Every structure is written in C-alpha cells, then in structure tokens.
Structure 1
Amino acid sequence: MTTAPASAHPYDGMDPYTTGCASTKVNTGKKASLKNEVGDSLGTIRLFYSRRCGTNWGEVSVAKSGSGAITVFTSKTSRSFSYRPGNGGHHWGNMVYAPSGVCAKATGSVTTGIGRANKGSGTTPKACG
C-alpha cells in the first residue's frame, strides 16, 4: 500500500476563502510585525487555522499601496502567495495542510515604496495544532 506525500493534499496551495475553509478559521494568536531594517512596523502578519479543513495560512494587514508575499511553512512543505496593492491592504496566502499535531508558521513581506525603509518582513511564532 502506498500513500501520497503530505504535499499532495488537495487543500495545499488553495485559497482559504474560495474553498470555504476560512468559514471555520481560528486565529492562532501567532502574529508578527512586518518591520523594516530600522524596526519600523509596516504591517502585521497573522497565522490562521481551519478546523474543518485542517489547514494553516497567513494574512497580512498593510498599507493599501503595499505589495509583497506570504508563505506558510510546516516541517514538510510550504506554500507562497504574492500580492499586489489594493484590497484595502488585507491579503491572505494559500493554505498548507497541517492537521492536528503538525506545527506551522507564516512569513510575510511588504514593499510600500522605493528604498529599504519601505520594505519590511516578519515571521510568526509556530503554532502546533
């Protein structure tokens, strides 16, 4: 008997809102500031979990003009999503399957203009379901 690798789960890389997984989302309480090199906060990233789907993803709150990336990691896989300005500065990444007992974390980046002072990043602490 063979089993598919964890990265082959059907929710991996999918949008939590279009799949309906976000309807059971839980804020894990894990968050981080997206800070530039001098420590100024340019936004926040939060890690979410879906009880129904057994998945994690990250969501950022940044300036409406911000663009960047969101990546969610487990010990076995990761999924990334790039976002563009708009949507009121609220963006979310794609999901990674992380059922009970699997730890996950999210990283985010944002660029709000030219120069290093307008680029920030951060990583949430791990949450283990």
Structure 2
Amino acid sequence: MKIHVAAIAVSVTAISTLLLTTGPASAHTYDGKDPYKTGCARTKVYTGKHAYLENEIGESLGAIRLYYSRRCGTNWGEVTVSKKGSGQITVFTSSKRRSFSYRAGNGGHHWGDMVYAPSGVCAQATGSVSLGIGRVNRGSGTTGKACG
C-alpha cells in the first residue's frame, strides 16, 4: 500500500514540474515584440492581405497590410497613413491578439507588435487612423485571413 501511494506522489510531482516548465500554450517569446527590433522583419513576406482604412462615407484614409516573418513564424500589421495620423494596429489569431498605438510622424509608416503564428495558424490585422475631429476624419479596416 505504501509503495502505491509513493508512486502516485511521484507522478503528481512529475506532472506539476512538467506544467511549470512548459507554461501556457498561447505564450511565445515573440508575442508583443517589435518585428524590426527583433530582426524578424528581415525575412518579412507580404501575405497579400490588406484593407483600406475607410471613414463612414467610404473614403480611404490609409491602408493596412499583413506581414509574416519566415524566420520567426510571426505576423504583424503595417499601416500607411498621413504623417499627421494617429491610431492603433492590432494583429490577432483565433487564440490571441496584440495591439499597438501609434502617434503622428514617422512619415505615416507604422507597424504593430507581433503575434507568433507558425505554419497552419491563421492571422489577421486591423488598423485605425484619426486625422482630427469629426467622424469623417476617422477610418478603420481589417485584412483578410492569412494562414501559414
């Protein structure tokens, strides 16, 4: 009887150790990181997925494009807007998302943080832009899904 109880105690300890070392399935070291600072953008590929950032009357105030890094297995969004525009870029999969707020400047070219989305995982990006007061000065759009 004591041997059986000891075996169960060892099994519980081994399982606890395994769970502590593997961590949550959704966390990855590239999640929420800058693709250019990490070097992931060096192997970026345009996925062919984009959307216009349109205001409520259908005028385009910019565009968002979805990118993928072959080396890092990550996705992120990049917007092209007026250099006076500010807004937000979000990249997401079915299980996680990362958002990044940008300010006016940088020639109107801004990028968001990455989400790890290796082969077989689909990702999308959404962007928004504000050029001032009033609804016609605000636009948004969401790319189609790209599945690696």
TM-score band w.r.t. shorter chain: over 0.9
Equivalent pairs counted in the alignment come to: 129
- Residue segments in structure 2 that go unaligned for 5+ positions in a row: 1-17
Larger C-alpha radius of gyration, 1 or 2? 2
For 1:38-117, list aligned pairs within 5 A: 38-117=57-136
Question: Does the Cα contact within 8 Å between 1:48 and 1:59 map onto a contact in 2?
Answer: yes
**1 or 2, which has the higher strand percentage?**
1
Question: Does the Cα contact within 8 Å between 1:6 and 1:97 map onto a contact in 2?
Answer: no
The separation in 2 between residues aligned to 1:4 and 1:77, in whole angstroms, is: 15
The separation in 2 between residues aligned to 1:7 and 1:84, in whole angstroms, is: 29
Please give the per-residue CA displacement for 1:67-107, whole angstroms capped at 9, x wherever unaligned: 00000000110000000000000000000000000000000
SS at match of 1:8: coil
**TM superposition outliers: structure 1 runs of 4+ over 3 Å:** none
Question: Does the Cα contact within 8 Å between 1:6 and 1:76 map onto a contact in 2?
Answer: no
State the partner residue of 1:27: 46
The separation in 2 between residues aligned to 1:4 and 1:56, in whole angstroms, is: 22
4 and 49 in structure 1: CA distance in 2 versus 1, 3 angstrom threshold: same
The separation in 2 between residues aligned to 1:57 and 1:6, in whole angstroms, is: 20
The percentage of counterpart residues that share the same residue type is 77
Task: Please give the root-mean-square deviation of Cα atoms over the aligned residues, in Å.
Answer: 0.7
**What's the TM-score, normalizing by structure 2?**
0.85
The separation in 1 between residues aligned to 2:62 and 2:135, in whole angstroms, is: 15
Question: Does the Cα contact within 8 Å between 1:45 and 1:108 map onto a contact in 2?
Answer: yes
More relative contact order, 1 or 2 (CA 8 Å, 6+ apart) = 1
- Residue segments in structure 1 that go unaligned for 5+ positions in a row: none
AA partner of residue 35 (structure 2): P
**What's the TM-score, normalizing by structure 1?**
0.98
State the partner residue of 1:120: 139
